[in-house]
Structures are given as structure tokens and as C-alpha cells.
């Protein structure tokens, strides 16, 4: 008996993107299925963030088709995109917290700005508290982002990404600029966010070790810790971009076996 593969959550078909005639993404084709983890690596300016922005409808492809949750969203209107975005949590590369809002208001933002059934004030407060507790920052509700350390701001960003319990989570360089200990804490939260809510996860990173954590660990709810995952069970794949093209897309084993010198540069060995 064969089990049906989970349905695709993201599908790019021959996607190209140009700015002023200059092609910055070319022939991008990949698929992420429900529950999969995709780790995107590549040199600076290779197009990693652009792939996330296309997946959020913040940019439109010049050519090709994009499907999200099985729907062709390529020609969606802004209002249709708003409905799609309500199903996606995102941590932007620059953090994207609003400096003029408190931590509580920042985390509440996606809940208050989704068009779906409005939540009561009490329910919003409960969910915000729950998300901040999740990242162990439940005591910072009244603070402003400028009063937090870089690592704490990143954690608030994660709380905001997960507050709607989205089916799809996108993280752009979540550990950039952090010390190794804080980076590991952030990665543990990302694994936990994936495994507690069974979210499909796409992460851009400069550190291959971050991808390995997603591949090799799972969150154990009983102990509240990360434990080694059975090989292959996290369904992690790596993508490597070079100058707007995918030069590698495959499993961790295929990544380890890849001899391409550019791809090897992104290995932790």
C-alpha cells in the first residue's frame, strides 16, 4: 500500500523576476509539501529573500506561475492576497518590528489585521501572551523593541510569526548577527514552532548548521526539549541559489554527496 504524498503548499513553476529589464530570478521551480521543511542557502544577493517575497505576494513574478495551498495565486488581487497571507507567518530579515508599538502590540498586529472573524480583546490578549510565553518573553509585554537585545527582538518576531498558528512559516535569516548560544535558542524555537503546530517551514539561512538542526531534531513535547529525529522524518530539503538560479535542490544526503564547489561552500564541513 502506498500512502498519498501530502499536498503541495508552495509550488513555483518556471518563475522569473526582473527589475528594470535585469533578471534577478530565473527558471525557479520547486515544491514544498505540507509538513516539509525547506532550507534555502546562497550567497548574498542570490535571490533568497525574493523567493520569500514572491511567496507572500509582496512581489509579482515577471513570468511563471506560483501556487499556494493548491490555488494559483499568480494573478491574485491585493484583497485575495490578504486572505492567503493570513495563513502564513513570517519573520523578515530585518525583523520588521514596529518601533512605535510595544511588544504586545507588535505581536497582536497579525491578529488584529486579519479579515477573518474578529477576535475579542480578551482572546487577542490571551493569544499574544501564549505566543510570548512560547518564546519565553511573556514578561516583556509593555516594552518597546528598542529596549530589547537583538536576540530578544528576534524572539518577539517569532512570536508574531506564530501568533495566528499559520500553516506555513517563512523565516528569513533568523540567526543572522546573533552569538552561537542565542542562535541555537532561536533555532530551537523554530523547530518547536514547526513541530507543535505541524507547520510547513521555509527558512533562509547563512549557517548550514541551522538547516541541520531543522533536519536532525524534533521538539519533544513531553520534556520540552529538542531530541534527535529519526533520519528523514523531518522531511527537510536544501535549496542552494546562485545568481538567481537554483543550483541545488535535494535531501540532506544528496547535499552531503554533492561535489559542486559552490554548493560545498554552504556545507558546515
Ligand X SMILES: Nc1ncnc2c1ncn2[C@@H]1O[C@H](COP(=O)(O)OP(=O)(O)OP(=O)(O)O)[C@@H](O)[C@H]1O
Interface residue with ligand X, options 45, 112, 196, 221 (CB under 6 A): 45
Q: Is 19 one of the binding residues for ligand X (CB under 6 A)? A: yes
* Rounded Cα gap, residues 244 and 118, in angstroms: 40
Cβ neighbors of 254 (< 8 A, separation 6 or more) are none
Which one of the spans 44-52, 96-104, 118-126, 259-267 is the region binding ligand X (CB under 6 A)? 44-52
Interface residue with ligand X, options 46, 164, 200, 205 (CB under 6 A): 46
SS3 134: helix
Residue 42 binding: pick among Mg ion, ligand X, none (C-beta 5-8 Å cut-off by kind): ligand X
Chain centroid, CA 46 distance in Å: 17
Total of residues contacting ligand X (CB under 6 A): 11
Find the shortest distance in angstroms from Cβ 180 to ligand X. 19
Q: Is 47 one of the binding residues for ligand X (CB under 6 A)? A: yes
238 beta partners: 39, 250
Q: Is 177 one of the binding residues for ligand X (CB under 6 A)? A: no
* Rounded Cα gap, residues 162 and 155, in angstroms: 11
Q: Is 50 one of the binding residues for ligand X (CB under 6 A)? A: yes
SS3 116: coil
Residue 89 binding: pick among ligand X, Mg ion, none (C-beta 5-8 Å cut-off by kind): none
Residue 19 binding: pick among ligand X, Mg ion, none (C-beta 5-8 Å cut-off by kind): ligand X
Q: Is 44 one of the binding residues for ligand X (CB under 6 A)? A: yes
- Name the closest residue to Mg ion (Cβ): 49
Q: Is 207 one of the binding residues for ligand X (CB under 6 A)? A: no
Q: Is 174 one of the binding residues for ligand X (CB under 6 A)? A: no
- Cβ distance to ligand X smaller for residue 93 or 251: 93
Helical (H) or strand (E) element with 68? strand 63-68
Q: Is 49 one of the binding residues for Mg ion (CB under 5 A)? A: yes
Cβ 57 vs Cβ 80: under 8 Å: no
Interface residue with ligand X, options 26, 41, 42, 207 (CB under 6 A): 42
Interface residue with ligand X, options 16, 23, 24, 86 (CB under 6 A): 24
- Cβ distance to ligand X smaller for residue 92 or 255: 92
* Rounded Cα gap, residues 152 and 32, in angstroms: 30
Q: Is 93 one of the binding residues for ligand X (CB under 6 A)? A: yes
HEC secondary structure over 175-217: CCCCCHHHHHHHHHHHHHHHHHHCCEEEEECCCHHHHHHHHHE
- Name the closest residue to ligand X (Cβ): 49
Q: What is the CA radius of gyration of the chain?
A: 18
Chain centroid, CA 72 distance in Å: 20
Residue 98 binding: pick among ligand X, Mg ion, none (C-beta 5-8 Å cut-off by kind): none
* Rounded Cα gap, residues 65 and 72, in angstroms: 7
**Other residues' Cβ atoms within 10 Å of the Cβ of residue 264:** 14
Find the shortest distance in angstroms from Cβ 20 to ligand X. 7
Residues within the interface to ligand X (CB under 6 A): 19, 24, 42, 44-50, 93
Amino acid at each position: 500500500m502506498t500512502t498519498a504524498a501530502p499536498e503541495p503548499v508552495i509550488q513555483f513553476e518556471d518563475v522569473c523576476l526582473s527589475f528594470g529589464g535585469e533578471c534577478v530570478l530565473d527558471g525557479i521551480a520547486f515544491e514544498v509539501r505540507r509538513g516539509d521543511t525547506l532550507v534555502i542557502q546562497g550567497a548574498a544577493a542570490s535571490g533568497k529573500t525574493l523567493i520569500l517575497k514572491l511567496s507572500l505576494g509582496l512581489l509579482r513574478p515577471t513570468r511563471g506561475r506560483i501556487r499556494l495551498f493548491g490555488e494559483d495565486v499568480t494573478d491574485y488581487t491585493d484583497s485575495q492576497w490578504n486572505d492567503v497571507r493570513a495563513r502564513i507567518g513570517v519573520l523578515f530579515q530585518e525583523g520588521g518590528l514596529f518601533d512605535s508599538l510595544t511588544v504586545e502590540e507588535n505581536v497582536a498586529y497579525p491578529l488584529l489585521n486579519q479579515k477573518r472573524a474578529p477576535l475579542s480583546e480578551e482572546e487577542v490578549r490571551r493569544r499574544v501572551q501564549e505566543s510570548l510565553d512560547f518564546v519565553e518573553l511573556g514578561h516583556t509585554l509593555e516594552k518597546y523593541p528598542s529596549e530589547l537585545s537583538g536576540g530578544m527582538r528576534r524572539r518577539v518576531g517569532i512570536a508574531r510569526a506564530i501568533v495566528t498558528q499559520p500553516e506555513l512559516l517563512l523565516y528569513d535569516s533568523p540567526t543572522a548577527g546573533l552569538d552561537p548560544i542565542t542562535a541555537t535558542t532561536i533555532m530551537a524555537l523554530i523547530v518547536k514552532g514547526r513541530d507543535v503546530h505541524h507547520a510547513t517551514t521555509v527558512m533562509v539561512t547563512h549557517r548550514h548548521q541551522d538547516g541541520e538542526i531543522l533536519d536532525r531534531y524534533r521538539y519533544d513535547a513531553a520534556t520540552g526539549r529538542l531530541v534527535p529525529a529519526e533520519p528523514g522524518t523531518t522531511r527537510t530539503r536544501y535549496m542552494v541559489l546562485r545568481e538567481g538560479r537554483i543550483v541545488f535542490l535535494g535531501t540532506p544526503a544528496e547535499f552531503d554527496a554533492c561535489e559542486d564547489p559552490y554548493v560545498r561552500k554552504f556545507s558546515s564541513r
